[in-house]
Amino acid sequence: MAYKAAILALLALPSVSAWGAMGHEAIAYVASNFVSANTKAYFQSLLGDTSADYLATVSTWADSYRYTTAGRFSAPYHYIDANDSPPSSCNLDYSRDCGSEGCVVSALTNYTTILLDGRYSQANHQIAAKMIIHFVGDIGQPLHCEALDVGGNDIDVLYDGEDTNLHAIWDSDIPESISGGSSLASAKSWANTLTTAINSGEYKSQAAGWLTGLSVSTAATRQATAMQWAAEANAYVCSTVLKGGLSAVENKELSGAYTTTADPVVKLQVAKQGYRLAKYLDAIVAAI
């Protein structure tokens, strides 16, 4: 009965997934297009899935897990609360912004350590892999790296005439307006478009630079890698998300010009975190 009640409670909760499920799946599909053969074999074996969807199908697991009794402890792991002052000042400080219960930076650091440690069980390694796949996505969403108004959750806006909040439109509405839907097929199609952009299009000259500083060799370098990614995302809070201040977005319709301005940032961050996820997983497998 307790298990049934927990499931019913989970179903009743709103979806709060960085980039929404579709965005996380798109990031995972981009990653699956760039991982090495050894990495693909390792994670397909670990996750028990030999299909092409092996990363995408677990990319939102961490969001479901956080709403279970067993996984409630992981809720703070999905964000880092930058206590800065957008739009005049955006910045991150680990000691200031990563709370005592942890944050996305500490979580990515710690779950990488677990996956690299052969003393943990296969079940522990599976959980760590799912967390890493998800948190590399979370850390690229600007409002998951911002404390103001609960990362924009308390900033009321309109989107296509519907009442919502600023965080939600960055999670789902804007990405879905780009990909054309919220399905797994939409995520895969968008990921293929972004993959082409990385291989031969607008991101080709940038992609190598996205990997600067990426390292899993020590706990310190893992944390530094995660902090670098979070700081990049946080900077967009000032330059794009809240560029005009609260008055420019609060209770405003954001499906028009605002979305047009946000589109390139969303595309870039999803492409960037997908490519980084691939190379981060490659680095982990190379170190095991």
What residues are labeled active site? 19, 24, 63, 66, 78, 134, 138, 144, 167, 171
SS3 state at 126 = helix
164: left (phi over 0), alpha (psi -120 to 50) or beta: beta
Closest CA to 169 of 230, 247, 258, 234: 258
Angle between helical axes of 104-116 and 257-287 (0-180°, round to 10): 30
* Burial group, residue 183, by CB count within 10 angstroms (0-12, 13-18, 19+): middle
Q: How far apart are CA 239 and CA 84, in angstroms?
A: 14
E-strand ranges in the chain read: 156-159, 162-165
For the range 91-100, what are the long-range contacts, defined as Cβ-Cβ under 8 Å and sequence gap of 24 or more?
91/231, 91/234, 92/145, 92/227, 92/230, 92/231, 92/234, 94/223, 94/227, 97/147
E-strand ranges in 171-285 read: none
- Would you say 86 and 255 are in contact if contact means Cβ atoms under 8 Å apart? no
For 45, other C-beta atoms within 10 Å of its C-beta total 12
